[in-house]
Amino acid sequence: YDYVLVAKTMENQEREEFKKQIEYIEELKKKNMKVTKIIDDDLVFYGIQAPREIFEMYRYLLKVSDACNWSSDQNAVPLSTIRIVHFILNHTPIHSGKQKELKDSWARNYFGEKVALYYLWLGWYTYLLIPPAVIGVIVFLYGLAFFNSSPLKEVCEADTIMCPLCDKRCKVWQLSDTCMYAKQVSLLFDNNGTVLFAMFMAVWTLFLEFWKRHRASFVCEWKVSDWCEEEEELILEIVNNANCEPKEYKHSYLRSTLVLICVTAMILVIIGLTHALVVFRVIAAVLMADGSWEFLSNHSNSCAMMLGAVFHYLIITVMTRINRIVAMKLCEIEKTRSHAATEKSFTVKMFTFQFFTYFSSLFYVAFFLGINGHPGGYVRIAGKWRLEECHPSGCLTDLFIQMAIIMVLKQTISNVFEFTVWLKRRRTHKLQRKCAHCYLKDESEAKHGSELCDNCKLRNWLSNYRLNDVDSFSLFNEFLEMIQFSFTTIFVAAFPLAPLLALINNVIEIRLDAIKMVTLERRLVPKKTNDIVWTGVLEAIGVLAVIANGLVIGVSSDFIPRLVYRYLYGPCANSTAADTCMVGYINNTLSTVRMGDNNILNEFLPKQMVTAGGLNVSHCYKDYRSNEDYSLTPQFWLILAVRFAFVILFEHVVVICKFIAAWFVPSAPMQVKNDRLFDKLNRLKEEL
């Protein structure tokens, strides 16, 4: 059987639904479809078999088409017939009441080239994750070499008193308290090796060019290099109804404007959730600081950041469902001409929503966290709650915490859930044998297509009916999980271990996806295609990766301040004593805040200015500001200028490298091009 339709049995044959079922089956019989009916307790099954003539007509129309003729000599009757039957079932109208076409109420689908390309892409992407995973671990370990560097010695041996990190409960603290963080977190991720790794990852996105070559070899072998999904839909329309009218191309400025407004509104809602997340972290930090648990009180900002990351993951989980519904509704408003156009439009919208959902908070942490004023002039929410500050060891630590928690939670929970579902089904699955009559049939009869008895058919159909339902966008969900590609490339400077986690996840993901598609879900309708619809999205991520990593290194990390100090303000500015170039760097990044100022007295309580040893302090330290009026120093503006100059230089160098590599690597192997050339020559000679 090419297709199995399933419906609920109805005792009342006067019901409108029953009449529509009967009318629909009769319409199929008019198209020479063979229909076998088997009734279970509460279900009725219709086995559908298409006549051979349908496939022959389809293959002939492929031969005379413009884009699909290269595939006309294929003999894959089963897969193509299933696709044709699926199209006919979805486009067979019934005439009682309003004319409608069958859509999603029937079940049973099969695989095709589109699924094959998904696994081809996932395998290739996983294979090419090995080099960045290895280099990321090396960069991570390279940070250990900085343990005895001058900046670290200054941090660990300093007796500098730092200003309170929060209101009321937080007290002044010593810079040396961050020694452990500086060793174990900050310099493991914020070092010179990270800069080179970020550049490598930005260039690594060129693997998309090699993917195109890899893909070209297979689509040539499958004879779908020039395949056009929209043209195939036109052919299927003719196979279904020889008197059909083509769906004309249409464009509505009103609909386009409405969709644009809705997309903008949705993005603003997602950004609003990011603001809500900031407020949540600020209030959580205040509540934990005022709590009775000493550990939470002493580490309120870090705990609030971690709690915020978990909350962010929950927002991602909920918004993924909402984003899908909104994107689908917007596609309906657009009234796209074909399923291929709908899929492309849906992909762009869904990725846009998901990108803002995942990365709005990360962009805030990377580029805006810590911009909260200065002692005596802090920025406050509603004039009450002081805006959060960066981790004592630097803002890059906060970005690392956010990315690590979200990535680990997403990959772990998703894979554990899929594995649990498979394990549960495997334990409850019972071996189903054929009845004695079917089991004892001669093997030669089976080879000639002898059918099972109705009981055995029904058992098989019930087993498949109870599998999880799928639709034309089910494969999209698997691609959507590959948004980890964004984590692997964007902000990788803050988390060099991201490629390693992605590699481990993909090794598991490939097998779990295969298990899910084969044993847990009904089969997808086989569809031909010559590319994954996400190619444009992946290329966009590659461009964003260059920009984001340049900004992380130039703006968020301490790479540029260290560079400026080494050559302009440090001991090596006028000498060549390389081993002492960074001496005094930490003190150079701090400025004094006098506790006698009225604004400072209003900002902090007297008890906050008492150290753990009971010493009252008269001043604490902040960033590049004047000791008199707390204005930004010329060194701050110089560093800012160098930061943006580095970002521009970094982006241009990497983009040029990407363009050169893209030009150097052909999009398809020469063997593939030659095979297509000779194939076309032979077909032309045959026609002549």
**Interval 238-281: pLDDT, tens:** 888 888 888 888 888 898 899 999 999 999 999 999 888 888 88
State the burial class of residue 686 (Cβ atoms within 10 Å of its Cβ: 0-12, 13-18, 19+): exposed
The domain tally of the chain equals 2
Based on the domain organization, do 94 and 119 belong to the same domain?
Answer: no
Least trusted range by pLDDT, from 50-59, 383-392, 448-457, 639-648: 448-457
Based on the domain organization, do 170 and 314 belong to the same domain?
Answer: yes
Q: Which residue has the tokens 């009321």?
A: 168
Based on the domain organization, do 342 and 479 belong to the same domain?
Answer: yes
Token pair recorded at residue 586: 């930490």
Q: Which residue has the tokens 């966008």?
A: 473
Asked if residue 453 is part of any domain, the answer here is no
For residue 102, pLDDT beyond 50: no
Least trusted range by pLDDT, from 277-291, 293-307, 650-664: 293-307
Greatest mean pLDDT range, 227-241, 250-264, 590-604: 250-264
- 419 CB-near residues (< 8 Å, 6+ apart): 512
Q: Answer yes or no: are the C-beta atoms of 140 and 496 closer than 8 Å.
A: yes
* pLDDT category of residue 491 using cuts at 50, 70 and 90: confident
Inter-helix orientation angle 474-481/113-128, to 10°: 10
* pLDDT category of residue 77 using cuts at 50, 70 and 90: very low
CA distance 359 to 396: 15
What is the structure's pLDDT at 144? 65
What is the structure's pLDDT at 80? 65
Give the residue from 415, 419, 451 showing the smallest Cα distance to 519.
Answer: 419
Q: Answer yes or no: are the C-beta atoms of 194 and 139 closer than 8 Å.
A: yes
Least trusted range by pLDDT, from 351-365, 440-454, 548-562, 603-617: 440-454
Residue 237: C-alpha distances to residues 230, 482, 588 (Å): 11, 34, 74
DSSP conformation letters of 35-46:
EEEEE-SSEEEE
Asked if residue 301 is part of any domain, the answer here is yes
For residue 578, pLDDT beyond 70: no
Asked if residue 196 is part of any domain, the answer here is yes
CA distance 491 to 186: 15
Based on the domain organization, do 364 and 507 belong to the same domain?
Answer: yes
What is the structure's pLDDT at 70? 57
Domain extent for 11: 3-99
Q: Answer yes or no: are the C-beta atoms of 216 and 669 closer than 8 Å.
A: yes
Based on the domain organization, do 95 and 132 belong to the same domain?
Answer: no
What is the structure's pLDDT at 258? 93
**Can you tell me the mean pLDDT for 112-124?**
84
CA distance 506 to 500: 10
Indicate if the alpha-carbon torsion angle 656, 659, 660, 661 is positive or negative: positive
For residue 188, pLDDT beyond 90: no
Q: Residue 375: count other Cβ atoms within 10 Å of its Cβ.
A: 20
Asked if residue 513 is part of any domain, the answer here is yes
Final residue belonging to a domain, choices 68, 99, 130: 99
Q: Which residue has the tokens 């920025």?
A: 379
Q: Would you give the distance in Å from CA 375 to the centre of its chain?
A: 40
CA distance 106 to 442: 34
- φ, ψ of residue 328 in degrees (nearest 5): -70, -40
Based on the domain organization, do 12 and 127 belong to the same domain?
Answer: no
Question: Could you read off the pLDDT of 301-331 as tens digits, one per residue?
Answer: 778 888 888 888 899 889 988 999 999 899 8
Question: Could you read off the pLDDT of 198-212 as tens digits, one per residue?
Answer: 778 877 877 788 888
Asked if residue 626 is part of any domain, the answer here is no
What is the structure's pLDDT at 266? 93
**Can you tell me the mean pLDDT for 82-93?**
78
Asked if residue 107 is part of any domain, the answer here is no
Give the residue from 46, 53, 39 showing the smallest Cα distance to 21.
Answer: 46
Give the residue from 412, 527, 397, 403 showing the smallest Cα distance to 83.
Answer: 527
Based on the domain organization, do 82 and 120 belong to the same domain?
Answer: no
Asked if residue 589 is part of any domain, the answer here is no
For residue 551, pLDDT beyond 60: yes
Based on the domain organization, do 47 and 129 belong to the same domain?
Answer: no
What is the structure's pLDDT at 68? 63
Beta bridge partners of 49: 34
CA distance 172 to 177: 11
What is the structure's pLDDT at 103? 38
CA distance 510 to 129: 14
Asked if residue 595 is part of any domain, the answer here is no
**Can you tell me the mean pLDDT for 567-592?**
76
Inter-helix orientation angle 300-334/339-367, to 10°: 160
Based on the domain organization, do 11 and 157 belong to the same domain?
Answer: no
Based on the domain organization, do 83 and 226 belong to the same domain?
Answer: no
Based on the domain organization, do 172 and 88 belong to the same domain?
Answer: no
Based on the domain organization, do 30 and 126 belong to the same domain?
Answer: no
